[in-house]
Structure 1
Amino acid sequence: MGVQNPLTLQELASQTLVRDEALTMSFLEKLPPGLFPTLFKEACTGSHTKLVRAMVAVWPFPCLPMWTLMKTPDLETFHAVLDGVDMRLTGEFQPRFLMTPLKTLSITGYQISQSDLDFFPCCQSLFQLKHLDLRGVVLQDFDLMPLRGLLEKVADTLKTLDLLGCRMEDSQVNVLLPALRQCSRLRYVNFYNNDFSMAILKDLFQHTVNWSKMKVEKYPAPLECYDDLTHLFKERFPHLCQDLVDTLRTVRQPKNISFATLNCHTCDECFVYDQVSRLCGCWE
């Protein structure tokens, strides 16, 4: 048997505090800010939804650690987080030092609902986001007008946008184009593992004329690179990607741009094109 590391004082204190939700909630505003992350982790792990909701409402930092939820994904706990954000919006909690708007929202590998997404553009605490990370959140069947609404709200502050693996289709990214055009402070975008055609990628590029601060941009290989079973046409892939790069260069000069395929059916790796085609192990 391995020897377990002893609990830290913060962990011990947090475990004690979650045992009495009502008492802890009554003096949340007086807790040292440094105790919040550990207590939030304990509350999420134990599904103490009332405490989670109250903590989010008075969260003292600009970044909320949503990765804590990913370890024990629970829809009720996630809704409690959104309720807490709503409480910040409505002003039900108003201490001086706890109304800081969130700078980072990271929800990765977690399946949200349409109603969750609908809430985003209504939440004032999100209106100064600098970083939005929705990696692995499948949006394929969603109405993305709420996400467009949020992007429009944060167009003057957003620096990074990560939508890797969201499985968006042409019609959905088309909804986002007017908002993406406004995001002039973007420095990093990731659209890998989405289902975009050549036509929509070229249309997207036409809407990036204001992305003068962009440093790294990642796009999915267009659908025209695959057959009906999503097997890659190896020879077609680099030619289509170069065509896309040439199209973008008529709009602006990209600094670091790449295209990646879906994972290989054999080795589970992907092809990447970043001016040079890098193949997975099966083709090299």
Structure 2
Amino acid sequence: MRNLHTLSLAQIPENRLGLDDIPGSEEKELVGNFLSQFSQLSSLQHLSLNGISLARRHMKLLLRNLKTPLESFSITHCRLFQSHLKHLSRCERLHQLKHLDMCGVPLSCLRMKPLRVLLEKVANTLETLGFQGCGIKDSQLSVLLPALSQCSQLTKVDFYFNDFSVNVLRDLLRHTANFTKMTTEQYPIPLECYDEFGYFSRESVVQLCRELMDTLRAMRQPKDMSFAAVLCGSCLKRRVYDLEARVCPCLQ
């Protein structure tokens, strides 16, 4: 498989890699042997780990065995530890990424400095960035903003379903003022739109999202920009406010 360019591993829970009913010591050895085979994939450019649970030492082993710079790296819908982020930021094979996707990875309790370091490393090459559904908070995004502002090659960002206030969203847009290549921008509806029970009104969404769009339009013209909340329980459609001021029909 030396000519393999793309590898996708999906839905392998609890570090078992499909190995059932074997002693823990044997499993650790087999997992280590499996991950060591990455060193043979000398043409690998695209790696996707979806729903994969890797122990701290196994993440380090996987990254250490990468032999070529990756063009795209997707690690989604899984739990990461602080040490995982540290290993990601230090892996030289990830420092030329064009595409980074971490959607569905809970990040609310983790420190963002390693991710900031990784974004700084890929600032000259990164084209798409996915942080959908990560639960990132204002303070965490503020840590990332200086690095994000350097990623001028970005064409798409996805921040849907995170916890940002209108002020921090405004700061985020200002940090992307010079991103002339941006074609698709996806942001969460500001926290100020919600009441204490998690409900929001159409009026709040329209007002605040329009203000944010006006903030960006004063700096550059967005091509495809939208703000979204969770799926509507009535129509099962995503509540969206975009450039055409469309919202979920249930909020009409």
**TM-score > 0.5, shorter chain as reference:** yes
Q: Quick check: 114-123 or 264-273, which moved more?
A: 264-273
Q: Which among 83, 88, 97 is matched to residue 61 of structure 2?
A: 83
**Could you list the per-position Cα deviations for residues 115-155 of structure 1 after superposition, in whole angstroms to 9, with x for gaps in the alignment?**
10111111101000000000000111110010000000000
Cα distance in 2 between the residues matched to 1:40 and 1:177: 31
Alpha-carbon contact 1:208-1:251 (below 8 Å) kept: no
Residue of structure 1 in register with 2:35 after alignment: 53
Change (3 A) 1:195 1:118: same
Q: Quick check: 142-151 or 262-271, which moved more?
A: 262-271
1:96-245 pair list within 5 angstroms: 99-245=67-213
Cα distance in 2 between the residues matched to 1:79 and 1:40: 19
**Structure 1 residue 273 corresponds to structure 2 residue 251:** no
**Structure 1 residue 62 corresponds to structure 2 residue 45:** yes
Cα distance in 1 between the residues matched to 2:178 and 2:88: 24
The Cα shift of 1:100 comes to 1.9
Q: Quick check: 32-41 or 78-87, which moved more?
A: 32-41
The one-letter code sitting in structure 2 at the alignment partner of 1:194 is: N
Q: Quick check: 228-237 or 258-267, which moved more?
A: 258-267
Residue of structure 1 in register with 2:3 after alignment: 33
The Cα shift of 1:39 comes to 10
Alpha-carbon contact 2:137-2:162 (below 8 Å) kept: yes
The Cα shift of 1:50 comes to 1.7
Change (3 A) 1:109 1:37: closer
Paired residues, what number? Answer: 239
SS in 2 for 1:218: strand
Q: Quick check: 144-153 or 113-122, which moved more?
A: 113-122
Tell me which structure has the larger Cα radius of gyration: 1
CA RMSD of aligned residues (A): 2.6
SS in 1 for 2:250: coil
**Could you list the per-position Cα deviations for residues 66-120 of structure 1 after superposition, in whole angstroms to 9, with x for gaps in the alignment?**
23xx2xx4333x75243121244xxxxxxxxxx3201111011111111101111
The Cα shift of 1:273 comes to 0.9
Q: Which has the higher contact order (CA 8 A, sep 6+)?
A: 2
The Cα shift of 1:218 comes to 0.5
Alpha-carbon contact 2:133-2:161 (below 8 Å) kept: yes
SS in 1 for 2:238: coil
Cα distance in 1 between the residues matched to 2:241 and 2:234: 19
Cα distance in 2 between the residues matched to 1:206 and 1:248: 7
Cα distance in 1 between the residues matched to 2:188 and 2:128: 17
SS in 2 for 1:138: coil
SS in 2 for 1:84: helix
The Cα shift of 1:238 comes to 1.1
Cα distance in 2 between the residues matched to 1:39 and 1:272: 31
Cα distance in 1 between the residues matched to 2:249 and 2:11: 40
Please list every run of 5 or more consecutive structure 1 residues that lacks an aligned counterpart in the other structure: 1-30, 89-98
SS in 2 for 1:271: strand
Alpha-carbon contact 2:129-2:154 (below 8 Å) kept: yes
SS in 1 for 2:232: coil
Higher fraction of helix: 1
SS in 2 for 1:53: helix
SS in 1 for 2:205: helix
Change (3 A) 1:35 1:282: closer
Q: TM-score, normalised by structure 2?
A: 0.85
